[in-house]
Structure 1
Amino acid sequence: MTTSSTPYAALLNQLRRESPLIHCITNYVAMNFAANTLLAAGASPAMVHAPEEAGEFARLAGAVTINIGTLSSHWLEGMHAAAQAANESGKPWVLDPVAHFATAFRRKAVQALLAQQPTVIRGNASEIMALAGDASSGRGVDSGDSVERAETSAMVLAQRTRAVVAVTGKVDFVTDGKHSLRVAGGSAWMPKVTAMGCSLTCLIGGFVAVAPTAPLIATASALACFGVAGSYAAQQACGPGSFAWRFIDALAALDGNTLQAQAQVAAA
């Protein structure tokens, strides 16, 4: 599968035309940057996590994204309510299992969320390897493993959960267990900016909202958007601070034709 045969331009244009409401349950560290990322891409973010309203709100949204970065029992209730409501209303939802292997609380929480059958799972190599039951070298939120080492784990996890699994890093890998893609691009500054990965999870939610029946291509499109915008932002960035705001600007300026021409996606 190559960039010439996949509808990246059409999906980005559709995202901007429809401006889907994306229900984001994400961590305190990521909320602002994630919301700005979705706005720059053309979607409409909403940060709603209270269990008293999360389920009701999820039914209104085009997609739900769940990130366990700053996990608490109260937030976990809201996550389950939102995931259940998304499933019941036929809405896609994305799971970001941040550092799920770090504590018993996180391990138990992520297994319960997996049972709610996410549409997409996005994580770094160590997170995906551990989620598949393989030994990893992760430390907290940081990956100690390469994307290449996690590819088999990702395929196994995708087959087991029937979810699309995205492993993000220097070159991203995304698979539905049968078909796999690699997505290049981005910048070495990305790991130095807090909430880049969390924001990518929310952007995946935006793309699967407009292409719910094609989650593999939707996920690859979000990864490609991130990669192209990151590459442009890095051209004039002096460091992680200037890269962060230039990335938002680059994402907002990105058009479908540029994405189609610059996306670095290849069959794995």
Structure 2
Amino acid sequence: MAEGLDAPGVAAVLKRVATRHPRVHCLTNTVAQNVTANMLLAFGAIPSMASHPEEVAAIAAGAGAILINLGTISPEGERAIPKLLDVARERSIPLVLDPVFVELSPLRMRLARDILQLPGVAVRGNAVEMAALEAAMAQAQDVLRVTTGRIDQIEGPGRSYRIHHGHALMTKVTGLGCASSALVAACAAVEPDPAVAAAAALTAYGIAAEIAAGRAAGPGSFAMHLIDALASLDQATLTERMT
């Protein structure tokens, strides 16, 4: 269940994604690009993944949300980040940060701190990553903390949720955590309350994972079934799984 967000609430956000087809611009982990794009498409959103510093601003300018994932940061990606921050600031585009392994790299920590200078960033990471960034997030303005794990925790200004859905197989396929950040971004593109957006995205993703696990023979087929389950989610399924 999602504490404080009901099935109609989740379904309403998902319907807006499916109807509006927001584009999510992803500067993301090269390991996760394919699965991220496929999950966004299954969700009803449109992925774009330009990373060249000379074009990234023009392409991101028309996006509904921006994702910055530090998982395989490159010199080119490092130069692109300030351009994405400028676009997000000038056009009030929601931005999600996925601080992959930020605790291991001074470069990633510096980039994450730079990104957190932008007000209203949603940070989606695991417990270790979020703990490493706590000092920087404490100084940030209107940051949304989205900590994923056995129970996902969402903490924002004046609102919090705990999501009790998902499956252990989600940790056995590379890129699925990165893809969850993109789904949070997709929902943020159509839902003005970032905490509600994150709760809707993670609830849908977790329920799709539970359905996929029941059909899968192992991690490989789980990923395939997860895409199918995400694409076919409806309010009746959400209601059944959330009660």
The 5 A counterparts of 1:80-99 are 80-99=82-101
Q: Does 1:191 align with 2:193?
A: no
Q: Does 1:250 align with 2:224?
A: no
For 2:238 and 2:123, locate their aligned partners in 1 and report how far apart those are by CA, in whole Å.
23
Give me the TM-score of the superposition, normalised by structure 2: 0.93
| CA spacing shift, 1:200–1:5, aligned 2, 3 Å | closer
Within the candidate set 220, 226, 232, 1:241 is matched to 220
Could you tell me the percent identity over the aligned residues? 38
For 2:9 and 2:181, locate their aligned partners in 1 and report how far apart those are by CA, in whole Å.
20
* DSSP-derived class of the 1:170 partner: coil
For 2:120 and 2:157, locate their aligned partners in 1 and report how far apart those are by CA, in whole Å.
14
Structure 1: state its 5+ residue gaps.
134-155
| CA spacing shift, 1:87–1:58, aligned 2, 3 Å | same
The 5 A counterparts of 1:47-196 are 47-133=49-135, 157=137, 160-196=140-176
| CA spacing shift, 1:117–1:77, aligned 2, 3 Å | farther
**Count of matched residue pairs:** 241
- Counterpart in the other structure of 1:137: none
Give the root-mean-square deviation of aligned CA atoms. 1.8
Amino acid at match of 1:232: I
Q: Per-residue deviation at 1:260?
A: 4.4
Q: Per-residue deviation at 1:177?
A: 4.0
Moved more, 27-36 or 73-82: 73-82
| CA spacing shift, 1:260–1:158, aligned 2, 3 Å | farther
| CA spacing shift, 1:253–1:158, aligned 2, 3 Å | farther
Instruction: Encode CA deviations 1:111-159: one digit per residue, 9 max, x unaligned.
Output: 11212335311000000011014xxxxxxxxxxxxxxxxxxxxxx9367
- Counterpart in the other structure of 1:16: 18
For 2:116 and 2:12, locate their aligned partners in 1 and report how far apart those are by CA, in whole Å.
31
Give me the TM-score of the superposition, normalised by structure 1: 0.85
* DSSP-derived class of the 1:22 partner: strand
- Counterpart in the other structure of 2:185: 205
Structure 2: state its 5+ residue gaps.
none
* DSSP-derived class of the 1:45 partner: strand
| CA spacing shift, 1:118–1:25, aligned 2, 3 Å | farther
Amino acid at match of 1:81: K
Instruction: Encode CA deviations 1:4-47: one digit per residue, 9 max, x unaligned.
Output: 38611111011000001110111110000000000001001111
For 2:160 and 2:179, locate their aligned partners in 1 and report how far apart those are by CA, in whole Å.
22
Contact 2:65 / 2:185 at 8 angstroms: preserved in 1? yes
